[in-house]
Structure 1
Amino acid sequence: MFRTALRNVLAHKARLLMTVLAVMLGVAFVSGTLVFTSTISDAFQSSSQKGFDNVDVAIQRHSSDPAAGAPGAPGASSPLDQKLLDKAARLPGAASATGTVSGFTAIADKSGKLIGDGFSTRGGNYFPGKEGKDARYPMRDGAAPKGADQFALDAHTADRAGYKVGDTVRISVDGPVREQKLTGVFTTDDGTVAAGGSLALFDTASAQKMFAAPGEFSEIDVKAAPGTSQTALKDAVEKVLPKEGAEATTGKQLADEQAKMIAQSMDGMKTGLLAFAGIALFVGVFIIANTFTMLVAQRTRELALMRAVGASRRQVTRSVLIEASVVGAVAAVTGLVAGIGIGAGLRALMSSTGARVPDGPLVISPSTIVTSLLVGIVVTVLAAWLPGRRAAKIPPVAAMNSVHATATTKSLVVRNTIGALFAGAGTAAVLVATGMSDGKATMAAGAALLLIGVFILTPLLSRPLIALAAPVLRLFGISGVLARQNAVRNPRRTAATASALMVGLTLITGLTVIAGSVQQGIDKMATASLKADYVVSMASRTPLSPDVAKQIAGLDEVTASSPLRNSASRIGTGTEYLTGVNGKDFGKLTSLDFTSGALGTLSGDRAVVDDSTAKRKGWHTGSRLPVTFEDGKQGTLTVAGVYKGNEMIRGIILDNATLAPHQKHITDMQVMVKTKGGATAASKDKLVTALGKNPAITVADKKDVSDAIAQVFTLMLNMLYGLLAMAVIVAVLGVINTLAMSVFERAQEIGMLRAIGLDRRGIKRMVRLESLVISLFGGVLGIGLGVFFGWAAGELIGGSLPTYQLVLPWGRMGVFLAMAAVVGVLAALWPARRAARLNMLQAIKAE
């Protein structure tokens, strides 16, 4: 039986090629994902560990108690000061102690644009040790910064921007543009720099003024003397820590935590990519099952003869599974090799797009090899098991007389009943989930059941849906009539072929409906809640200097403006953030929908609260709230109104004149601006120019604000389109495979058609139309299911986005249906050509 299985593989190499390609693509995606994520994760972990070479114990603000030491908390003051630094440096077993501060620092390139990716454009302090050098940052060129107008820049950024020692560079820390002299270029193992970010260094006094407060640090790093372990040094450090607000951590713990965070961030990417590899493999299952069903059907008499001469059912099934194992192994090995190339290519692609990846070897772990091989073989064997089992159950005499060819009425009734039950249960679960507050799990389960149910029912659905195309197909004469008959001749095969395309288009359509509807909802929200023409903020979403708001308010073309400031407070037993605004102009810049009370003029102790906060706290209009401000002083706020919060505006809002006296460091999150001429290109240019064409500041109109919020959806959708393209490619292979096998099966019929007068062009047209009908059938099912799932998911999203409304992207759905038609036409090229070139006499004589 083993030799028989191998012989069958070698005898049907061409027919099994599409199956091998389908499995290979899925396995290549799996192995490529594992290689890529392992390589990137290993490179970043190695780089981050180097960054902790000079840190044996780190003293940080305590992370578990916001009131004890977190910046901005009520009554908070930093415990990490020069006094604690000196104590740590004098400890037995301590070689040195380094105080660090850091924060956002935008570096402009020579054309004035921001270098780096916003969140990774950082600044810090150069802390010279006993020898006058900072061991963390060896200077490649020039010298360390020594004055408020000097700074040093990492080598990656300096080389990328073309800066050299002595250049004057435009930078921004919290809004206003500074022009500072570049005195040094240094090298660093910092992982964010290696990933494409930038790092600027200032002298410690200047850095403290910019990022903390004079004399304060954000972290103190202690280096152990030779012979002192990190644990022993940590024990010594803990003895000099203040009672509250600070904690000590070993360098090894920090490195391990960093490595864990990197691994977790890679896990998200890995899970997403593997999910789409799974979809491609799932689509490939249809191809494998179809191929082996047809191969087994062609060998029915051969298998029957084997049964007649003594082979058992188990042996027949085993021979088919051995054949599948060989095919799966070949596909898995090929896919593994291709995947390694994909992993290396993805890394190179990241580098070519400007994202820097630390140097490191290509990581091909044993688990990657084992997983790839198992996936390829197991998927193929499982998909071939049902055709093999079905072949083994055919009685030998019936098989040799071909009376088994048509499925029994009983089997079709059972299939349709099961499919209807699955589809009904799935539809019910999805509908129930739309009315639940958290129905994600229920909806996912319902969607899976419905998809399985529709797949089972696809043979039943194929006849009426394909019959709808009959009037159009008649226009193509006898070729069209034959194409329709061929498409419904074997409903199960047609269903399996169409289902592969259906799965891909269901996902693509559903995601497009959701993304388009969310975008529309966000646009509506931005239009409804904002009267302001522009919102000014930092590119990094970090705090903005209050000087920017003052500068904007002084411009002639500005009619109203208001900064938004956040400040932590304690109301009752919980910490709440207060949002300070310009009470006089706030009503001119926003349009809030109040459920009770009114905005009025915000001044004194008047405040307005969003509905979700009011509901959570049990507040209502007229409630008096005892508050402990950031500086520890107490007061009382009166709720003047409750409004409907959204992604733009939410929280407890009061006048800045009330909030500012209690803030230690006044910073703005953004500034809302209304101008005389409205939102025009000219007024926007005036604002940008007035702010010094600052690379760190963005001036956004309503559309820009909406696009920024929806950007994550757009980016995700584009990525999903690219990833789902693989499922569509596999589906194309499935259509090609089915048509090629169908042409082989109908060789005698095609020869007879040629003999009675149908020319080669007519044969080609017949095969192409059959492929087109099958592809459009799968496309219609996929788009229909996608719209339903998109609507259902939107019902859930509407709970958190009140302005959400269903938008059907008719244009894109038309493109998707056209894409299904193109898939059918392209997939038919080779089978149609092969059918037209059949020798009619040899085909008629074929057994």
Structure 2
Amino acid sequence: MFRTALRNVLAHKARLLMTVLAVMLGVACVSGTLVFTNTISDALQKSSAKGFDHVDVAIQPEGRLNEGGEAVEQPKLTPELLAKVEKAPGAASAIGVVSGFTALADKDGKLIGGGFQSQGGNYWGDDDPRYPIEDGGRAPRGENEIAIDSKTADRAGYQVGDTIRLSVDGPVLTPTITAIFTTDDGNVAAGGSLALFDTATAQKLFHMEGQYDEIAVRAADGTSQDRLQTAIDKIVPDDTASTTTGQRLADQQAEMIASSMSGLKNGLLVFAGIALFVGMFIIANTFTMLVAQRTKELALLRAVGASRRQVTRSVLVEAFVVGAVAAVVGLAAGVGIGAGMRSLMGVLDATVPAGPLVVSPGTVATALLVGVLITMLAAWLPGRRAAKIPPVAAMGSVHAPATTKSLVVRNTIGALFAGAGIATVLYATTMDGSDGQAPMGFGAVLLIIGVFVLTPLLSRPLVAAGAPVLRVFGVSGKLARQNSVRNPRRTAATASALMIGLTLITGMTVMAGSLQTSINKMAADAIKADYVVSMANGNFLSPDVEKKLASTEGVAATSSLRNAESVIGDETEYLTGVNGSAIRELTDLTIDNGSFKVGGTDVVVDADTAERRGWKAGSSFTAAFEGGERQKLTVAGVYEGNELLRGILLDNATLTERLPATADPADMQVMVKTSAGASDATKDRLEKALGDNPAIRVQDRQDISNEIASMFTLMLNMLYGLLAMAVIVAVLGVINTLAMSVFERSQEIGMLRAIGLDRRGIKRMVRLESLVISLFGGVLGIGLGVFFGWAAGELLAAHMPTYELVLPWARMALFLLLAATVGILAALWPARRAAKLNMLTAIKSE
């Protein structure tokens, strides 16, 4: 039986080719993902470890809590402590580290990097071992000199001697670049920027006069890190700072990198799993057709003594050989994909450190195991079905049709699964947010399985619906319709592969479009302001920003949103300070109770907070502020909150008076209303009023909308690219089914040619059959995708009042066109092969 199975594989090489390709693509996705993520993770870990080459022991401030468990002022790392540490036994040198946000502008005045990745620090002395300076540069000295990293210099076209615009959290500075340095900093590798000042300037800019964020100590030759740490621990007070070895810091960084890469790895593996799942339909279809074509052969084996188990085993041996070959080829392709993805990141400016390609034993074992197991699992059911056919019945008929009982059982099971899936998904939509995610996912799986099982039943009415269109093509159209429903199970398996891919693509498109529209509506409904001004990295704005904007020509009203913490009763409550006289002009909030009056001790409260606290218009409460000041406040009105504005709103004058004299007001953003409305000229005027500061963003509502749109577009394009593999596998499935169907119907095609159907008619018949099957899968996929997109949106609607379902009709039409294109392209080779059959040879074939 083993030799028979091997001979069958060799005898059907061409027919198994598409199966091999389908498995190979899935395995290539899996192995490519593992190679890529392992390679990037290894390179980042080695690069980050280099960053600690000059740190044997790091000293960091130790956070402290008061008796009430609240954080108090952080201890300082002073020059005096640095001097003591330098003299510790086993210490060779020590560096005081200062760092903070620094926004660099390119030559067009635009921010370099991504806000949070725009960092600044100090260059220690005249030769900082952490940052090797390229030839022609020197260490920065004084407030008017700076050093920048080489990647930022390359991206923005800066050279030594150029002047650069920058801002920390105040006015724009224009220092001269005295050095360009190299660094292994992860933020720089990710596309950010790093600027270095001399230590005194860095301390002044980052409000760290006379102190450091960290002290990095180098060990003398022959002194271990643990020994140096023990010596430093005797010097550093326990309540002032904590010490960590450089090796431990490197290990912690490596764990963080591995953890962050695991999310990317799992995400990519999910899409590889989808491609493999789709490939299972092709494998099952292929072996079902091969078994059907060898029914007499298998019956003869049964008649001469082969048991059912041996017949099943012979089919599984064939699957093992096919899976092993596909897995080996897929592993090789996956290594190439991993290398290509790393190169692609460089092309996209997503710089990663250099390093060798990592192909671990685990990757090899996973690829081989996945390829073989998936193939054998998909081939098991056709093999078992073949073994159950009685030898006498099989000897008398090439095709053993499904019995009425088996069809009834199949449709009953499918209906139960689909019904349970729909009920579970609908139940999940009534649950609260995250609680409904797991039931909805489970229901989606049940529904997809149910629809797949019911697909043969659904194929007849849906294909029949296209009969009027097919009649236009005459005899070819009529034959195509009959062929597509002749074997419903085969049609179902072929269409289901495409259905799954389009279900995911459509569902994600519906979700992304609805979310984008809802967030845009939220922004439009919540504010009347023409512009929102904020820091690029999300930090607090200086109060001077609102003052400058308010005095700018053409500005009608401004209001900063100023956050402060307070205690009301026994609970902490955050207050939002606003310009009480202007806030009504800048926002569009619905009042449920009372009036929108903010000024003095009158405040307005969002409905959720009012309900939780039991407040209504006229209620009073006392708020304890950060400095210990207490103030009685009165609720003037209750408004409908949203994602942009919620909580307790009070006048900035009242709020600022109650804050400690040493506390800086925390302005998160400033809303601006202009007399002329939003325009390019108005935006330029506001930016110039703020000194064309690269650290500050001035955005109108369209800018905010575009920013949201770009995030969704990027996400969708990534998902489309990943799901394209599943669609490619589905195309292979259509080609495979049609090619084997042509072989199976050779006699029939020869007879059609003999009675007058020309080659063009044969080609048209096969193409139309492929088109019908693909559109059938497309309609099912788009229908399921819309249902899942609606259901997932219902979960979000509970937390997003502006959420509404938006059906992307244009994109759905495009997806249907994609399904039709898949059908036409997949039929090219099978149709050509069918048309080239010699009619006399075909008629004589069995």
TM, length-normalised to structure 1 = 0.94
1:758-773 alignment runs, 5 A limit: 758-773=757-772
* Structure 2 partner of 1:828: 827
> Is the partner of 1:139 in helix, strand or coil?
coil
Question: Aligned residues, how many?
Answer: 839
Over 3 Å counting, the alpha-carbon distance change for 1:833 and 1:792 in structure 2 is same
Kept in 1, the 8 Å contact 2:577–2:655? The answer is yes
* Structure 2 partner of 1:587: 584
Q: Aligned letter for 2:484?
A: A
Q: Distance in 1 between matches of 2:68 and 2:217?
A: 22
* Structure 2 partner of 1:304: 299
* Structure 1 partner of 2:107: 110
Kept in 2, the 8 Å contact 1:91–1:236? The answer is yes
Q: Aligned letter for 1:797?
A: L
Q: Aligned letter for 1:139?
A: I
C-alpha deviations, 1:77-124, integer Å up to 9, x for none? 553344444444444444433322222212222233322233212111
Q: Distance in 2 between matches of 1:568 and 1:498?
A: 58
Does 2:392 align with 1:393? no
Q: Distance in 2 between matches of 1:202 and 1:659?
A: 36
Q: Aligned letter for 2:335?
A: I
Over 3 Å counting, the alpha-carbon distance change for 1:170 and 1:341 in structure 2 is same
Out of 520, 523, 526, the residue aligned to residue 526 of structure 1 is 523
* Structure 1 partner of 2:208: 213
User: Which range moves more in the overlay, 557-566 or 773-782?
Assistant: 557-566
Kept in 2, the 8 Å contact 1:419–1:457? The answer is yes
> Is the partner of 2:53 in helix, strand or coil?
coil
Does 2:536 align with 1:539? yes
Does 2:471 align with 1:474? yes
CA shift for structure 1 position 774: 0.7
User: Which range moves more in the overlay, 238-247 or 410-419?
Assistant: 238-247
Out of 639, 643, 667, the residue aligned to residue 643 of structure 1 is 639
CA shift for structure 1 position 764: 0.8
Does 2:426 align with 1:426? no
User: Which range moves more in the overlay, 400-409 or 54-63?
Assistant: 54-63
* Structure 2 partner of 1:139: 133
CA shift for structure 1 position 518: 0.8
Over 3 Å counting, the alpha-carbon distance change for 1:595 and 1:246 in structure 2 is farther
C-alpha deviations, 1:182-208, integer Å up to 9, x for none? 122222221222333211011222222
CA shift for structure 1 position 158: 2.0
* Structure 1 partner of 2:263: 268
Kept in 2, the 8 Å contact 1:558–1:673? The answer is yes
* Structure 2 partner of 1:841: 840
CA shift for structure 1 position 657: 2.6
* Structure 1 partner of 2:345: 350
Out of 117, 122, 128, the residue aligned to residue 119 of structure 2 is 122
* Structure 2 partner of 1:290: 285
C-alpha deviations, 1:543-596, integer Å up to 9, x for none? 333333222111111111122233445556665544333333222211223444
- Identity over aligned pairs, percent: 69
Does 2:682 align with 1:653? no
Over 3 Å counting, the alpha-carbon distance change for 1:64 and 1:314 in structure 2 is farther
Q: Aligned letter for 2:513?
A: G
* Structure 1 partner of 2:184: 189
CA shift for structure 1 position 261: 1.3
C-alpha deviations, 1:190-234, integer Å up to 9, x for none? 122233321101122222232233223322333344454434444
Over 3 Å counting, the alpha-carbon distance change for 1:743 and 1:45 in structure 2 is same
* Structure 2 partner of 1:374: 369
Q: Distance in 2 between matches of 1:304 and 1:168?
A: 86
Does 2:678 align with 1:679? yes
RMSD: 2.4
CA shift for structure 1 position 671: 1.6
Does 2:503 align with 1:503? no
Over 3 Å counting, the alpha-carbon distance change for 1:360 and 1:65 in structure 2 is farther
Kept in 2, the 8 Å contact 1:212–1:218? The answer is no
Q: Aligned letter for 2:580?
A: G
User: Which range moves more in the overlay, 551-560 or 244-253?
Assistant: 244-253
Q: Distance in 2 between matches of 1:652 and 1:608?
A: 6
Q: Distance in 1 between matches of 2:62 and 2:611?
A: 31
Q: Aligned letter for 2:32?
A: G
CA shift for structure 1 position 726: 1.1
Over 3 Å counting, the alpha-carbon distance change for 1:571 and 1:359 in structure 2 is farther
1:658-673 alignment runs, 5 A limit: 658-660=654-656, 661-662=659-660, 664-673=663-672
Q: Aligned letter for 2:246?
A: G
Q: Distance in 1 between matches of 2:707 and 2:639?
A: 24
Q: Distance in 2 between matches of 1:515 and 1:712?
A: 10
Q: Distance in 2 between matches of 1:118 and 1:265?
A: 20
CA shift for structure 1 position 306: 1.1
CA shift for structure 1 position 809: 1.1
Kept in 2, the 8 Å contact 1:511–1:790? The answer is yes
* Structure 1 partner of 2:699: 700
1:21-60 alignment runs, 5 A limit: 21-60=21-60
Q: Distance in 1 between matches of 2:216 and 2:248?
A: 13
Over 3 Å counting, the alpha-carbon distance change for 1:445 and 1:583 in structure 2 is same
* Structure 1 partner of 2:407: 412
Kept in 2, the 8 Å contact 1:175–1:697? The answer is no
> Is the partner of 1:439 in helix, strand or coil?
helix
CA shift for structure 1 position 163: 2.0
Structure 2 gaps of 5+ residues are none
Over 3 Å counting, the alpha-carbon distance change for 1:244 and 1:705 in structure 2 is farther
CA shift for structure 1 position 598: 4.0
> Is the partner of 2:54 in helix, strand or coil?
coil
* Structure 2 partner of 1:719: 718
Does 2:90 align with 1:96? no
C-alpha deviations, 1:782-804, integer Å up to 9, x for none? 11111111111110010111100
Q: Distance in 1 between matches of 2:632 and 2:203?
A: 34
Q: Distance in 1 between matches of 2:239 and 2:563?
A: 25
Does 2:730 align with 1:736? no
Kept in 2, the 8 Å contact 1:191–1:358? The answer is no
Q: Aligned letter for 2:11?
A: A
Structure 1 gaps of 5+ residues are none
> Is the partner of 1:179 in helix, strand or coil?
coil
Q: Aligned letter for 1:653?
A: L
* Structure 2 partner of 1:486: 483
Does 2:313 align with 1:318? yes
Out of 246, 249, 255, the residue aligned to residue 251 of structure 1 is 246
* Structure 2 partner of 1:280: 275
> Is the partner of 1:356 in helix, strand or coil?
coil
Kept in 2, the 8 Å contact 1:68–1:244? The answer is no
Does 2:447 align with 1:450? yes
* Structure 2 partner of 1:168: 163
Over 3 Å counting, the alpha-carbon distance change for 1:718 and 1:67 in structure 2 is farther
TM, length-normalised to structure 2 = 0.94
> Is the partner of 1:388 in helix, strand or coil?
helix
Q: Distance in 2 between matches of 1:37 and 1:403?
A: 50
Kept in 1, the 8 Å contact 2:190–2:352? The answer is yes
Kept in 1, the 8 Å contact 2:567–2:573? The answer is yes
C-alpha deviations, 1:649-691, integer Å up to 9, x for none? 2344333333444363445322211111112233223223333
User: Which range moves more in the overlay, 28-37 or 563-572?
Assistant: 563-572
Does 2:397 align with 1:402? yes
Q: Distance in 2 between matches of 1:808 and 1:307?
A: 56
